[in-house]
Amino acid sequence: NAGVTQTPKFQVLKTGQSMTLQCAQDMNHEYMSWYRQDPGMGLRLIHYSVGAGITDQGEVPNGYNVSRSTTEDFPLRLLSAAPSQTSVYFCASSKQGQAKSPEYFGPGTRLTVT
Amino acid sequence: KNQVEQSPQSLIILEGKNCTLQCNYTVSPFSNLRWYKQDTGRGPVSLTIMTFSENTKSNGRYTATLDADTKQSSLHITASQLSDSASYICVVSIQTGANNLFFGTGTRLTVIP
């Protein structure tokens, strides 16, 4: 199994540009999440999904959209990039949900917005 | 307010030595506590998960303890290796709601030869 994969690994955007961060998992996990990690702060939840067709907001959802058309894929869209969205983004999946089973994290996407 | 605090922020130890990392939390209602290891430039990897009834759990040279009464946990690393250099993140989950994970900011461990 490849586990959780993310693309791209690095990305530089100009303010106002849009892009999609890709995330896929091959473990047949129902739960998937997106986090951002900033220096000096813990991981913060952006959006999550409890299954195909179901998504919900996390702690810091503004400026991001998600969709879950299949169990495997959970893309994160930045609508109009801002410098405050410069961060490292992690996608994660788990079998039974965040509180009940360990999360498996992808390798991350390092995003810089200029 | 639900919070997870870790100490120290950073730690440097000699290869072969032991060390202990601390995690204090005010999260309620408690569900479980987990420790993750995050290598530089990689995603976190789960080391241990402990529920309310478990007060110790080991994973190789890593041993986590939990005192649910004082709301404290520790991660003890025995006979450290250079590959233990990483950030160690304490995460506490609550029983209710969907946004139910609370992350500490991590302890950055550097093991030097």
Distance from CA of A42 to the nearest CA of B (A): 4
What's residue A99's pLDDT?
Answer: 63
Instruction: Say yes or no for a CB contact (<8 Å) between A108 and B103.
Output: no
- Using an 8 Å CB-CB cutoff, list chain A residues near B103: 42-44
Task: Report which of residues B20 and A40 the model is more confident about.
Answer: B20
Distance from CA of A83 to the nearest CA of B (A): 21
Distance from CA of A98 to the nearest CA of B (A): 7
Give the separation between CA A4 and CA A53, rounded to whole angstroms.
Answer: 19
Instruction: Say yes or no for a CB contact (<8 Å) between A107 and B95.
Output: no
Residues of chain B above pLDDT 90, percent:
81
Mean pLDDT rounded to a whole number for chain A: 93
Which residue shows structure tokens 């893309």? A75
What's residue B99's pLDDT?
Answer: 65
Q: Is A32 helix (H, G, I), strand (E, B) or coil?
A: strand
Instruction: Say yes or no for a CB contact (<8 Å) between A43 and B43.
Output: no
- Using an 8 Å CB-CB cutoff, list chain A residues near B88: none
Please enumerate in sequence order all residues whose Cβ is within 8 A of that of B49, keeping only pairs 6 or more positions apart, or say none. A102, B32, B33, B34, B57
Give the separation between CA B32 and CA B109, rounded to whole angstroms.
Answer: 24
Span B102-112, average pLDDT: 96
DSSP code of A99? T
- Using an 8 Å CB-CB cutoff, list chain B residues near A2: none
| B97 phi-psi bin (left φ>0, alpha ψ -120 to 50, beta other) | left
User: Cβ(A6)–Cβ(A74) under 8 Å?
Assistant: no
- Find which of A36, A66, A98, A101 to mutate to test the B interface (most B CBs within 10 Å of its CB): A98
User: Cβ(B78)–Cβ(B18) under 8 Å?
Assistant: yes
Each residue of A78-113: pLDDT tens digit? Answer: 999 999 999 999 999 998 765 667 889 999 999 999
Distance from CA of B78 to the nearest CA of A (A): 23
Instruction: Say yes or no for a CB contact (<8 Å) between A108 and B4.
Output: no
Nearest-by-CA chain B residue for A36: B43
Instruction: Please give the sequence-ordered ranges of beta strands (E in DSSP) within chain A, or none if there are none.
Output: 4-7, 10-13, 19-25, 31-37, 44-51, 54-57, 64-66, 76-78, 87-94, 104-105, 109-113
pLDDT-wise least confident of A30-34, B25-29, B69-73, B93-97? B93-97
Instruction: Say yes or no for a CB contact (<8 Å) between B89 and A42.
Output: yes
> Using CA of residue A97, residue A103, residue A104, residue A107, what is the dihedral sign?
positive
Q: Is B83 helix (H, G, I), strand (E, B) or coil?
A: helix
Give the separation between CA B111 and CA B87, rounded to whole angstroms.
Answer: 11
Please enumerate in sequence order all residues whose Cβ is within 8 A of that of A53, keeping only pairs 6 or more positions apart, or say none. A68, A69
